[in-house]
Structure 1
């Protein structure tokens, strides 16, 4: 797993470790996501899911054999999380995943999202995922768009005004990146 020292607001170095999520992380994961649902536009949900909902969502990701990661500070606090999910349920999409990355609001901009996304991409490539899609809520969410672009994602489209939250219309930005051999070989033929 990934480990990196970052400088939090206190100016002291903190070692951040990216690891697989555990059942005990659900309370922190739900709190992080709940804040983004209530105050942000990265998610188009308008009511935060409860801990049981988040537990079921995590179990669904893990049941599909996909990674669900957390970033943990040296004090044991969960600072963010990321996971890959099926892009769409139909069989033809089986080699494509969608990523989600959420960082605790009070530690944004400190490289935690980068650590999470880097490890997520590495694990998905190892699992044989060939395409990764990012569905970024709100075209004004430049931090998320730039994070994905820094990892080689390219803009493939913007769906204009497809959501309404916090009294305004919101776009969805679609970004995509090939993993491994991408579409250059047939993963079902072993090459």
Structure 2
């Protein structure tokens, strides 16, 4: 079980594993492992007085991987999941293992939905997001934007043509979507 002070016993003995797997046990000698002092269970030296650390109270709505029987003893509560992005993330944790690509793709999708929501919410403030100044486009001006890119074997040249699409694409799509919605509403009246 994870998060306990002692390691679980091996299902097979060291001799059985050594005969079955060539090279098994090459690092059995603690002197060969730099992490050995951290792996020892010595409560008299470390001051540990527990077998399993005391868990913080479970609010009941925290996401947990399918691989784990329960939450880790300590977990963050500063940014609770909310809205559509939270629903996407909860679905990823409830439905898919961390070993599945779908789990991570859903978490990324939840992050993108949260970012879009933050951009939309910024328009309700006195200082909405400004894609021109916040993407660093103006920082290129006056710093030799063309000559600094060629003849220097820069790795970012391979995807430089994608940068305007990635930066401006969501804004252009948002504007086109807003104009389309306004036109449809105007037709109704």
Asked if TM exceeds 0.5, the reply is: no
Greater helix fraction, Structure 1 or Structure 2: 2
TM-score, normalised by the number of residues in structure 2: 0.19
User: Which has the greater radius of gyration?
Assistant: 2
TM-score, normalised by the number of residues in structure 1: 0.19
Greater strand fraction, Structure 1 or Structure 2: 1
